Structure 1
């Protein structure tokens, strides 16, 4: 398999020593033991030198003897390795070994600035001048862009074709921007999106079923729905405007509201009401993480809460220098937090302890995937490796005008510029 060149010489020496120690016992170690050892060695390499180093560690293990090389063809082993190193549960290639290689090569492309850049065309040509792209969402096959007039535009990524446009169903609304998109949940089969007034709409892709309203917002009772995120299992809304109603959680499968509460945004209540009629700065962010949890923040405070246990707060962090909300994001194990002075840090979600830090030029927008942070300021996009906080490179392309939204997954980065232009960078393994 393809391996990373980033493994250190000391790791190679350690592997050679390991081979000498085990060669005399190579014929007696059972297959489950060797598989467990391979997972442990790859995990150690991941923790000590980064995800790309795991591949070289595995090569060293499988060179011990022919029997161990034969064990390297185990599908169960590659499934475990893919989940442990890349946090990938879905098989999109023929085998789990191919899936691991794909994830490795794509991450290597991300590190080495190998990508294809394009812009996504709106067909037919919509007049988006004066409209602001508020949210972007990515799945394996699609990208969705949500605008300040309530429009959600869906693109098919392999063909770069604009497939369809969705608008919230009409009803009496309070405020000029009450239809503005506050969040999108996107998979390869379904689109769910929310508007500032609290309405949630959903539809499936490519089956002809019309858009329907899954939840009718109560803007008077709840305030403005300032951010919205989720998965197939959960929907999570962050509100500002009413006391002790900051967080709402739905069962994404049954669409049942299961929790309302929290005081996170109580200090932002007045600005929450203003957002319905004026374009205001970001008031808060909410992001899904792994293990049935979500993380939310305002300009001064961050909380990690349990989605299964009535929104119980697990971790709380208050930053004296404030939080630059445009740069707040989270993956399955950590959160990216930048303070108002431009010091960005990656923090473990389990305890808010710092993993690394680096400086960004603010004001900025930013996002992360499992291994990299992508920050845009004044049209320039810079990339950091978040395992070490190492600056890597700048994108070759600049974004004209202000960027209003940016998102990254393990393969792609998308950013919205003035005039409704959606830029897309694809790091997919070739």
Structure 2
């Protein structure tokens, strides 16, 4: 039979992971990306044990691909510097079989792109619509030509045009009340071994060491949507410059950056779960499917899980026929695709929505502004034993499963 063709809308982490997983299942894959070229600047991303295990199942070694850093400790601090909670990554590795890592997002997406055949990714090619009225969707692009496909993967981001087009009654996005700044800075002399998030009153500041001596920094503040200052670097110094070391030193490095290298985005989540994660032969994943607050560091991790589960449930492409291990007894009929997408919704919708709701709750704790409420929060976090805090992450970090 002819080789099955999948078109992936979006070359972010979820889209590229889906492309790799489908390619290794024998599908011919075309990735359409709106941006004119691969990103060379950006921020960082943490890959939790669940995401690393998902990547392992498709043969992607994130540590080897990016030279990733494994921090010595992880935890939450107060603005004066006291630790509220702190966990050794060795303890996490012992509990979950693998430690979380931190990677520069541009390096990670470049490593994923390099795992695909040359010509797979078409930059400067925005998907404008999908006509899925027939048995084979037609993907319309600004650049042309139209692309017939057996499957369309909508990995087109938080503002997903394909989600809006095919779920017109959905309420869309909900502003979470915070804006976020992100940056990568060079500071090898600071030798910061811990990944930390510091909580103030309505403000947070995160520090993540990377393997190349740089640090991924992020900060949040409770402000009205659309709030912007003339100079984000100066605003960060004003908000966080008196917080504990090494934050002031890191902000000095932020001040040396080009203003365009300090990214600011208001935080949104999907206001309600989608009724399903598929429509016809289109499957949504990542932010397009279940945009969530970044407070658990699970947005990209859940996109990776989505991509791996989706490819696992789909029939193998013609290059590998049906002889693919546990999937070898599946029929090779094209009619398998709609059933596989229904199984994908069943496997992923509840888990991703539970993570979305949990991320929202954690964000509300971190954003508390009233001094008494913030003090009570800090006391509660500090009083929680490390073993209980780790146990509370079990459903996240051990929750990745390939459907049988």
Q: Which interval holds the TM-score relative to the shorter structure?
A: under 0.3
Greater per-residue helix proportion: 2
- Which one has the largest radius of gyration? 1
**TM-score (normalizing by structure 1):** 0.26
